[in-house]
Amino acid sequence: MSNNRVLKYNKFSLNNFKFDEVVTNGKTSKININYSDELGTCPLMLQLPEEMRIPFDLASYDKEITDKNGQNYNLKSYYVNFNFNLDNEKHSKCIKIFKKLDKFLLDIIEKNSSKLFKKQPTFTGTDNNNFTGILAQSRDKTTNLIDGNYVGLKLKVPHKKDKLISKVYNVNKELVDTKDSLIKGNIGGPILKINNLWASGTKYGVSCDLQLFKMQEVKIEKNNNKEYLFLSDSDD
């Protein structure tokens, strides 16, 4: 993780996105994403504004996956949600930037649709219910259209052998327990990693992981660690 670069949510350029060729594994096709500029090419990690609230405890899901050899197995995934505050200026700015980013990434999916999909889906914009963008937005219960009442993030929490890889720090730059920290009500600033564009059946979207989270309130025991990638939030 320390070899990756972190950019602020408002300091990246769409022109520097680098997309790999389509790779298919079983029922899912992917296009891996990197960021390339004068400093080199690396995975893209974006630091979001502070004061983002976790509305629900860390969640886990089990899904049956079929690999390229036709073998079925259960895949466990962890997710965490973060809420934007629509009255917060930095949050509103981040939402505006990410809406543009979602549109840009959806255009890449559509341009590569012949390689991503066996059966071509209908593309009607980022409000299409088949598209999972970086932003998670509420929908009207009657029309199923995005209504703008809620905007947030739903990020995967990577794990290995059921051990969570994402790191959480307190305000003193000390590592704290990840599972005990990603709980309802905690507030702070996340760093996400944009992994790839994916397509499965008629569904498609953007895969993002939570890499780091800096809490503004500490409710658990601390543990020392030297890794710390957060930039100052004062000059946005």
Radius of gyration of the chain (CA): 18
- Which one of 8-22, 60-74, 162-176 scores highest in mean pLDDT? 8-22
Question: Is residue 169 pLDDT above 60, yes or no?
Answer: yes
User: Per-residue pLDDT for 189 more than 90?
Assistant: yes
> Does 229 have pLDDT greater than 90?
no
Q: Please, which residues have CB within 8 angstroms of residue 172's CB and are 6 or more apart in sequence? A: 218, 222
pLDDT of the residue at 2: 44
* Range with the poorest average pLDDT among 10-19, 98-107, 141-150, 186-195: 141-150
**Would you say residue 223 has pLDDT above 60?**
no
What pTM value is reported for the model?
0.85
Domain formed by 5-223, architecture: Beta Barrel (2.40)
pLDDT digits (tens, 9 = 90+) for 33-83: 999 999 999 999 999 999 999 999 999 988 777 766 777 777 789 999 999
Calculate mean pLDDT across residues 141-156. Answer: 88
